[in-house]
Structure 1
Amino acid sequence: MKNIKLLTVFVMLFLLAGNTIFSQNATKKGFAFLELYTSEGCSSCPPADELMGRIQKQYKDSNVYVLSYHVDYWDKQGWKDVFSNAANTKRQYDYAKFMEKEPVYTPQLIINGKIDYIGSQETAVQNGIHSALSKPAVTEIALEANQQGDKLNLNYNINKISKNNRLYVAVVQKSAKSNVKRGENANRVLSHFQIVRSFNSFALTGNPKGNVSIFLPKGFNPKDFEIIGFVQDMNSGIILGADRAIFTQNLL
């Protein structure tokens, strides 16, 4: 009888430990952070842009984040992309160094800073998203935003910080259309989604909580834009965690 009681106690402790571990793992959700490098001057890019729009709609309000960076190296090929930015090109080249993959190309899609895909290949991209979502995030981040005119104040809370981590905050325009007059996409009206309009970088000093401020692009409003923050390991380029900012107050 004594042995039976001891066995019963052992089983109960084992089940309790197992439930505790399961509960801890269940709270660590996976995420997929998609960064598309695109251009209005590239004839291969519109299908990738449209795919990002479908993905954004499919995974709306989930742990899937889409950012489209318009690069500037196509601007001398007959059409200047109105959304292009040299900083976007630099970020793409930084990834080329991280992943040891050169030359860069469009449409290139990078998921969680780890693996790149041709941005228009839907099956491969969807598989990449599912794979990313199946792995728990290394870092959890929460953002609260307060708009004051053309300025945005952000409170962040990050559960885990290393000395080589940085916080990035992107102001993302959800959609736009462009009437392209020249270049490879001449006489086409192109649809764009999740366009990076402002990109900001902040050092993390080890304090899990903090406040940063950014200036907002002209025409910003919480309905047509969103604020996406993420933590990146600057040694490897890997994205450790991401979140959409919650607006706590809106003073226009």
Structure 2
Amino acid sequence: MAPRLWTCFGNKGSRDGAEGSMTSDTTTEEPGRAGPVVVEMFSSQGCATSPAAELVLSRLGRGDFKLEMPVVLLAFHVDYWDYMGWKDPYGSSQWTVRQKAYVESLGLDTLFTPQVVVQGVAHCVGNDENALVEAINNATRYPSPTFQATFTKPTQDSLQLSLTGALRSKVDSNGVNIMVALYENGLVTDCPRGENKGRVLSNDFVVKKLEKLSTEKDISAKKTITGTVSFPLWGGFNSSKCGVALFVQSPSHQIFGSQSFQLPDDI
């Protein structure tokens, strides 16, 4: 039997021009609009102050704050607090490496949680609501790519996304990486040890997998890009709790556009 296909279109943005390695194609944009802002939180269940920041992130997702634009939210759980008595079940050294790259590019002295990075170029403490909202509202926005996603399950333990679309921004010789994240919402954990001993921890937008769709250099804003990414799935995978985010990131870590996709309920 041929695998079932599920296709959806991500959110679309418009207007503002890019700086650095990309330039917006204003001829294809809808005046007065631009795409969402990417908000990445680096967190840990082993950090006493991270639960408050996780609540802020969940409230952002619910629309509790007055923002001037849509957002794409991603929570990366790091592993460097695992020695404190509680090993974060969602923690990964891969996400610690990602945060270290931001620490270097932002000129910071050290890693810390909870940290929020906005569009790859601004940061603040994750539980500082005012600073976070200000960083989001002040962020430079870029056109959303126009990718269409087709979902298949080649096996019960894997999810495949086939993507076709355009970046809507010109890419120069510095190039960009097109990244695709699979995240999960509504996670609840009883924490019997560590800094958050005795607490029930709630986490949303937890990145489970991050893959590179492609690297692009010297292409026009309208060039069609096609590629496929595959994600191994975990026990208890529930598509209704998950989502996919696509974002375009330069070698200097600046983010130049993003989309989000809902997974089909029956996948």
Spell out, residue by residue over 1:18-42, the C-alpha distance to the aligned partner (whole angstroms, 9 max, x if none): xxx8995626414211000000000
State the 1:239 CA deviation. Answer: 0.6
Distance 1:155 1:25, change over 3 A: closer
Q: Which amino acid aligns with 1:167?
A: I
- Structure number having the greater helix percentage: 1
Distance in 2 between residues matched to 1:250 and 1:46, nearest whole Å:
29
Comparing both chains, which one has the higher relative contact order based on Cα–Cα distances under 8 Å and sequence gaps of 6 or more?
2
- Structure 1 equivalent of residue 77 of structure 2: 70
What pairs up with 1:9-48 in 2 under 5 angstroms? 26=31, 28-48=33-53
Please report the TM-score for the alignment, with normalisation by the length of structure 1: 0.81
Could you give the per-residue CA deviations for residues 125-157 of structure 1, whole angstroms, max 9, x where no partner exists?
Answer: 11122222xx44056342413122422122132
Q: Could you tell me how far apart the structure 2 residues matched to 1:162 and 1:141 are?
A: 19
Closer, same or farther: CA 22–179 of 1 in aligned 2, 3 Å: same
Change (3 A) 1:115 1:80: same
Residues of 2 paired with 1:129 and 1:55: CA distance? 11
Q: Note if 1:112 corresponds to 2:128.
A: no
AA aligned to 1:101 is: L
Offset from partner CA, 1:168-222 (integer Å, 9 cap, x none):
1100102201111111101110111100011112332445311212124223343
Is residue 210 of structure 2 the alignment partner of residue 203 of structure 1? no
Distance 1:246 1:58 in 2: 17
Report if the CA contact (8 A) 1:167-1:229 is conserved: yes
Q: Structure 1 residues 227, 216: CA separation in 2 closer, same or farther (over 3 Å shift)?
A: farther
CA distance in structure 1 between the aligned counterparts of 2:50 and 2:110, rounded to whole angstroms: 17
Aligned length: 227
Q: 1:185 matched to which residue of 2?
A: 196
- Residue 111 of structure 1 and its aligned partner are, at CA, apart by 0.4
In the alignment, which residue of structure 1 is the partner of 2:151?
Answer: 146
What's the CA shift string for 1:68-100, capped at 9, x where partnerless?
000000011111000000000000001111111
1:229 counterpart = 2:246: yes
What corresponds to 1:6 in structure 2?
none
Counterpart residue type for residue 212 of structure 2: S
- Aligned pairs for 1:153-168 (under 5 A) are 153-157=161-165, 158-160=167-169, 161-163=171-173, 164-168=175-179
Partner in structure 2 of residue 244 of structure 1? 260
Following superposition, the deviation at residue 48 of structure 1 comes to 0.2
Whole-Å separation in 2 of the counterparts to 1:215 and 1:41: 26
Distance 1:72 1:143, change over 3 A: farther
SS at match of 1:76: helix
Whole-Å Cα distance in 2 between the matches of residues 24 and 127 of structure 1? Answer: 26
Equivalence for 2:19: none
* 1:171 paired residue number: 182
1:53 equivalent in alignment to 2:58: yes
Aligned amino acid, residue 175 of structure 1: G
Q: Which amino acid aligns with 2:230?
A: I
Q: Which residue of 2 aligns with 1:8?
A: none
The change in CA–CA distance for 1:90 and 1:143 in structure 2 (over 3 A counts) is: farther
| Corresponding residue number in structure 1 for 2:86 | 79
Structure 1 stretches of 4+ moved >6 Å:
none
CA distance in structure 2 between the partners assigned to 1:170 and 1:220 by the alignment: 15
**Cα 1:246–1:184, aligned 2, differ >3 Å: closer, same or farther?**
closer
Paired AA for residue 224 in structure 2: P
Give the unaligned 5+ runs of structure 1: 1-20
Q: CA RMSD in A?
A: 2.5
Distance 1:246 1:66 in 2: 13
